[in-house]
Amino acid sequence: MPSPLATWHEDHIHFARLLDLLEGQVVRFNRGERPDYHLMETILYYLRNFGDSVHHPREDVAYARLVWRDPDMQIVVSRLQQEHRVIATVGQALLERLNEAERDVISSRAALEAAGAMYLVYYRNHLSTEERYVMPRAAQLLTRGDWEAVEAAVPELADPLFGDATPRRFAMLRDLIDSEAQVAACTP
């Protein structure tokens, strides 16, 4: 079984890959093309229902333990916890704009573009900060007991997209990710 930090890092890799796919669709929208709204909604559904509901709450518990062990981490951790809330709020706003666009009742093209850009910027910066500053300190300071407290507070759930059993809702997205990985593996 991988360590909690290894799982955390793997989640970040998966989230970054999904953000790349989402950004590709946002770029299409910015060029005046019709993006794959269903793909975008599926990505957001996953990030909101796994990232915001499972991954981020686990991080929040680990953050609290980290600050207890190193009070100098408080400023970084407070900002990351605020970003969890902003990412969830902006993600919901983006999802609402996507639902409008898919029904051709978009209130403002600029609102969709702004929500997409804000979501991508916040999420990517958030992942980068965690990888560069928080995870190395957590590796140094958090004990087995700290990780057991994280598990007890927010039990780990199977990843519905990258886990062993992919529900039908994510089948198309999983196939897309797998096919792109195969193409990347074959490209010199």
Q: How far apart are CA 107 and CA 152, in angstroms?
A: 44
Give the dihedral of Cα atoms 104, 105, 110, 114; nearest 10 deg: -90
CA R_g for the chain: 18
Identify the CATH assignment for 4-186 out of 1.20.120.520, 2.60.40.150, 3.40.640.10, 2.60.120.260: 1.20.120.520
Under a CB-based contact definition with an 8 Å cutoff, are residues 12 and 23 in contact? no
CB contact burial 38-76 (16+ within 10 A = b; e otherwise): ebbbbbbbbbbebbbebbbebbbbbbbbbbeebeebeeb
The predicted structure's pLDDT at residue 110: 83
The letter for the amino acid at 120 is: L
Domain ranges of the chain: 4-186
pLDDT at 131: 97
Q: What's the pLDDT at 18?
A: 96
pLDDT of residue 105: 74
How far apart, in Å, are the Cα atoms of 154 and each of 6, 55, 107, 130, 136? 17, 9, 38, 19, 22
Mean pLDDT in each 10-residue stretch from start to end of the chain (188 residues)? 86 95 92 90 93 90 96 96 93 90 76 91 96 96 94 85 84 84 65
Kindly report the number of other CB atoms within 10 A of residue 18's CB atom.
21
Q: Is 177 helix (H, G, I), strand (E, B) or coil?
A: helix
pLDDT for 96-142, tens place per residue? 988 888 887 766 778 888 899 999 999 999 999 999 999 999 999 99
| CA 153 – CA 68 distance, rounded (Å) | 16
CA separation for the pair 157, 163 (Å, rounded): 10
pLDDT of res. 74:
97
Interatomic CA distance for residues 81 and 79, integer angstroms: 5
